[in-house]
A and B are shown apart, each in its own frame.
Chain A
Amino acid sequence: MKILHADNISKTYTGTKHPALENFSLTANKGEIVALLGESGCGKTTALRIIAGFETADKGKLTINDQTLFDDNRMMPPEKRGIGIVFQDYALFPHKTVWENITFGLFKLSKSESTKAAEEAIALTGLTGFEKRYPHQLSGGQKQRVALARALAPHPRILLLDEPFSNIDTMKKNEIREDVRAILKKSGTTAIFVTHDTKDVLAIADRVVVMQNGRNIQNGTPLHVYHHPCNAYLANFFGKTNILQGTIVNQKLNTPLGELQLPEGIKQSADETISVSIRPTAFKLADADTDGAIPAEINKIRFMGEYVEIICTTALPDKPSAEILVHLATEPANLQKKQYLKIGENGYSVLNND
């Protein structure tokens, strides 16, 4: 069931030439965690602020549960929207205790209802015992929980999170990501979060919307977007990749790595150059007699800790050679100077030309 619907929203800030958002559309289903992914300046924060009501869009339409929050004739102020927000800097009120912070948005409830809602939020976020502390007496992770509890306590129709993990130590990030996902799922909250970190997306999002230059360029599950990025920019965004040029010959993809199966739904005329992205992890070592084995000469081996990075040059007969990047989990014993590689199943994706 769709809860949030943002339709063709555009916004250009006064004094700037390029639109921050251009015909941006987004939906969120009940209980779904949606990630808005993009580099800084791609418009993701603007999108979040427009949904929250802190910015006014130039045109477009925004509805929650079929109630219009914004269109050509309407601009509902933020306090009426029933949208919760967790800010990047948490924005905890420094002059109020944890308890006062969490009950701040519960002023419309009766005293007992408000206490109940706050206690629920505190239990949900595991903040029991911290009620009387002030924000400056909390660690970064605790602050984030308070921010989460405060935003969740009034049971918002939707929760927005602005770069929720950017202020967390790298060491603790994974743990906190999982905690946040668990809290959101437990409370059945529909959430949209903004991030520039693909690891956040892969770890907690049900769906990801990728943005570039104020536009929505791809929409899908994190795994799908990771394996089948729509363009070279996005392929690189999710980590290192090999991008090769090829042409279509006899319904096959003719690349420097040999002839690959053309994925379904790709309609491109012959003779047109198309780009293929192959993740370094898609390669496996192979024997010379394996079907489709690619001979390669190893130029360099780098030990990266979690994996081994190998740079090699392919040497298929009748094909131009290409320098490719291969990631292996461990360095195989007796690695030869000349090796055969093979591409794993579904290990490549065709990119849009842009």
Chain B
Amino acid sequence: MFRFLTEKFNPARKQNYFNRWSVATFIIGMAVVFPLLIIFTHLLKAGDHAWGHITSNLLPGYLANTLYLLLGVGFLVFLIGTSTAWLVSTYRFPGSRIMVWALILPIAIPGYILGFTWVAMLDYTSPLYVYLRNNMGVETGQFLFFNILSLPGAIVILSLSLYPYVFLIAKTWFTRQSASISEAGASLGRSTFAVFCKIVLPLARPALVGGVSLALMEVLNDYGVVSYFGVDTFTTGIFTAWFAFGSPVSAIKLSGILMFFVLLLMLTERVQRGNRRYDMVSGSHKPILKKHLSGMAGMMALIVTTLPVLFGFLLPVAMLVYWTWQTAHLVLDNRFFALVQNSFLLATISSVVVVVAAILIGFTIRTFPSKLTRFLARMATLGYAIPGAVVAIGILVPFIWLDLQISTVTSGAIRMLITGTWFTLIFAYMVRFMAVGFNNVESAMEKTSHSLDEASRSLGMTNFQTLRKIVLPLIRPGILSAALLVFIDVLKELPLTLILRPFNFDTLAIRAFEFASDERVAEAAPASLIIILIGLIAVFLLNHTLKNNKL
């Protein structure tokens, strides 16, 4: 990787390593890794008084809750994701065609919105509970049926919003599975279910574990659900340490431990995958001939696949629509429109910044492929694995220090130059969401032949002209989907925005969350619906690209 530093090279070859493109990629890569480095370098610092309190009183709880969440959500998303994916990809039953895409819908609802909507739906004052209480005499305490504001409640809510990750991967895997595998199994006298358990599932394991890991990453990133449900984990701990205890050291140490969980998760995923990249059976890809399920069995399949969509999307969205209708006259004022404008502007700028950076990195690896540039690209996309709260702390600590220096140098004339500005926020989004933009841009670039670039160069165009005239027009769909996905990610982002936002600055996500936290869930509905709507557009786009790629 660093061969160019040590070996004597033809000076001409250095062009391949040192040029405007690779330097720009280097800067972006370093900028993204920087918050993580801050966390790790500060990790060994001595803890303060608050840290002592946290380790003895709170840390065991954080650990236990995080582990329970990981286990619970991991189990549930696997169960829901694979079973529904298996049903829609192996069988045809009434409604199965709709369920193929309907099962993805819950991914459009951020966990915290799903969470507070369900809490309000089961609450003492919810229309359902009121009806049951007044007409049936059902009386089950503060909540209908069970106390949803609990660890199990958080697990269910997170699973309902995250199972589509597993569903999507499992569905594509099962659909791509050659029919001959199942037919070979059937010809050997095994039932469909036995074939599924003994052949299909083990073959799909690496992919499925990948999907579950993705969902668990989101669990570690989550702040909204756990804080609303009163389940103390590392993310809520970071908030407590930073805001309540005023102890940056503790926040950093908690971030470090959280990162340890993330790394452990990534490592487990990688180790289990190992070299076992099962290739699809080569040759003709005869698609699976879907078996027809009718009568009782078909009904059962429909119910099993409908439940996650009903609880994870239809009911909550219906409820939010109802509340929006009720509170629209209260909420939809100029302040609300200013809020929408604010959020959209922030998300637009962020997605433009991310996409431009992603194009830069993508084109650099394309034009100057080397271990160094690929390493830098990997650095630049690391942020997606880092929980938002950790990114925020990693950025805030050095920026506060920098502001302090500026303030000292200017004798207090300039304060808070960097922290609490849009710049900080957008930089943080870039760190966090670079991978989303990059992966889309890169896969679009991979689909265009390298010889197009070379043809353009041989016809007298420079690299920059080639990028502008050939590559960019050809990858436009990839750029658009990258921008839209970053847009929606920024729009619904919570923990990072809460920590880094400018004073008195609100986004749709924050407003919704704050309304909900003040037990004014009905008023949170309009903002929530906007986020869900934009999310739905992203889902349709995702579904569309998946179909086109025949993944």
Binding site for B on A (CB under 8 A): 14, 52-54, 56, 58-59, 70, 72-75, 77-81, 83-85, 87-89, 91-95, 104-105, 107-108, 150-151, 154
Contacts and interface: CB of A to CB of B under 8 A. Distances in A.
Given A73-B11, A85-B455, A93-B452, A79 B3 contact: no
Interface in B442-489: 449, 451-452, 454-462, 469-470, 473-474
Given A56-B10, A78-B458, A105-B460, A88 B15 contact: no
> Nearest 10 CB-CB pairs, A to B?
A75-B12, A105-B459, A91-B451, A91-B455, A78-B457, A87-B451, A85-B458, A79-B460, A91-B452, A95-B473
Contacts of A54: 454, 457
Contacts of A108: 460
B13 interface: yes
Contacts of A154: 459-460
Nearest to B458: A85
A70 B12 contact: yes
B448 to A, nearest CB: 8
Contacts of B458: 52, 78-79, 81, 83-85, 105, 151
Given A95-B474, A104-B459, A73 B454 contact: no
A77 B462 CA distance: 8
Contact of A93 (B15, B371, B455, B460): B455
9 contacts: A72-B12, A73-B10, A78-B454, A79-B458, A80-B460, A95-B473, A95-B474, A104-B459, A105-B461
B12 A73 contact: yes
Contacts of A95: 473-474
A85 B461 CA distance: 13
Nearest to B457: A78
B12 A79 contact: no
Contacts of A58: 10
Contacts of B473: 95
Q: Max chain B CB contacts within 10 Å: which of A75, A79, A95, A107? A: A79
B191 interface: no
Given A87-B451, A89-B451, 20 more contacts: A14-B3, A14-B370, A52-B454, A54-B454, A58-B10, A72-B10, A73-B12, A75-B12, A75-B13, A75-B15, A77-B462, A78-B454, A79-B457, A79-B462, A81-B458, A91-B455, A93-B455, A105-B459, A150-B455, A150-B459
A263 to B, nearest CB: 43
Contacts of B470: 93
A94 B477 CA distance: 14
The interface residues of chain B, by DSSP majority, are classed as helix
A76 B93 CA distance: 64
A214 B462 CA distance: 30
B140 interface: no
A94 B457 contact: no
Contacts of B10: 56, 58-59, 72-73, 75
B16 interface: yes
Contacts of A56: 10, 12-13, 15-16
Contacts of B12: 56, 70, 72-75
A107 B460 contact: yes
A79 B449 contact: no
Contacts, number: 82
B3 A77 contact: no
Contacts of B451: 87-89, 91
Q: Max chain A CB contacts within 10 Å: which of B13, B15, B454, B456? A: B454
Interface in B90-111: none
Contacts of B371: 14
A10 B251 CA distance: 56
Q: Max chain A CB contacts within 10 Å: which of B457, B459, B469, B470? A: B459
B528 to A, nearest CB: 40
Contacts of A78: 454, 457-458
A59 B454 CA distance: 22
Nearest to B459: A105
A80 B12 CA distance: 15
Nearest to A49: B454
Contacts of A75: 10, 12-13, 15
Contact of B454 (A87, A92, A94): A87
Nearest to A55: B16
A92 B15 CA distance: 28
A301 to B, nearest CB: 38
Contacts of A79: 457-462
Nearest to A70: B12
Contacts of B3: 14
A65 B5 CA distance: 35
A137 B147 CA distance: 64
A88 to B, nearest CB: 7
B459 A77 contact: no
Nearest to A83: B458
Nearest to A107: B460
Q: Max chain B CB contacts within 10 Å: which of A59, A84, A88, A95? A: A95
A178 to B, nearest CB: 25
Contacts of A85: 454-455, 458
Contacts of A87: 451, 454-455
Interface in B1-37: 3, 10-13, 15-16
Contacts of B462: 77, 79
A93 B472 CA distance: 12
Contacts of A89: 449, 451
A104 B473 CA distance: 15
B412 to A, nearest CB: 52
Contacts of A53: 457
A38 B11 CA distance: 31
Nearest to A72: B10
